[in-house]
């Protein structure tokens, strides 16, 4: 895999007792090609009374933010996660090589985005957690994601489409708490 990155927006953690924690930034760009010690990883030390509850976030950038055009920080176009003002942000980007892909040099490019109907690809993710010891960790099941894609027919997605929405829903289902 050459590129694997996605946006996490509106991160919130609740403990089921009317207490909640909201991330200090609205948007985070998670880039698995960068060193794990960068600021792109979101680390939260939860208080004792947050050992059970829900983690909520949006996989991608919401329609309102996309409609506003280019942003700064994580939303800066220099991060190669922005198409145009008409198409908005790329919410989830994966590029690599697979023998299953019939494209040139067996490459695949999955740039999943879109903020206008009917191609709204941002997905709300809600994960329950119950951890008595260490803080919960949000994980992405990359193996399951790749097994669920037919790279013979879905090897190049580079604009808003129903395929981008379908794969965004698949990506949403691959998050879990460990």
Q: pLDDT tens across 122-177, in order?
A: 999 999 888 766 677 788 999 999 999 999 999 999 999 999 999 999 999 999 98
pLDDT reading at 103 higher than 70: yes
**Which pTM does this prediction carry?**
0.89
pLDDT for residue 47? 64
Please give the residue range of the domain that contains residue 70.
3-177
Residues 69-100 pLDDT 10s: 889 999 999 999 999 878 899 999 999 999 99
Question: Mean pLDDT for the chain?
Answer: 88
pLDDT for residue 49? 67
pLDDT reading at 101 higher than 70: yes
Domain count for the chain: 1
Contacts 24+ apart (CB under 8 A), 88-91: 88/61, 88/63, 88/113, 88/114, 88/115, 88/116, 88/160, 89/7, 89/60, 89/61, 89/65, 89/113, 89/115, 91/6, 91/7, 91/59, 91/60, 91/61, 91/121, 91/122, 91/168
Q: What would the mean pLDDT of 21-47 be, rounded to a whole number? A: 74
């Amino acid at each position: 895999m050459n590129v694997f990155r996605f946006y996490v927006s509106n991160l919130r953690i609740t403990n089921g007792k009317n207490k909640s924690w909201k991330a200090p930034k609205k948007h985070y760009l998670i880039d698995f090609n960068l060193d794990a010690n960068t600021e792109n990883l979101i680390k939260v030390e939860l208080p004792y009374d947050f050992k059970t509850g829900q983690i909520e976030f949006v996989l991608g950038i919401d329609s309102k933010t996309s409609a506003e055009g280019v942003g700064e920080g994580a939303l800066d176009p220099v991060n190669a996660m922005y198409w145009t003002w008409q198409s908005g942000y790329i919410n989830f980007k994966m590029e690599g090589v697979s023998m299953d892909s019939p494209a040139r040099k067996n490459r695949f490019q999955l740039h999943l985005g879109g903020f206008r109907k009917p191609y709204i690809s941002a997905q709300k993710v809600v994960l329950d957690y119950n951890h008595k010891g260490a803080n919960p960790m949000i994980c992405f099941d990359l193996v399951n994601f790749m097994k669920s894609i037919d790279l013979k027919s879905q090897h190049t997605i580079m604009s808003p489409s129903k395929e981008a929405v379908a794969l965004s829903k698949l990506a949403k289902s691959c998050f879990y708490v460990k």
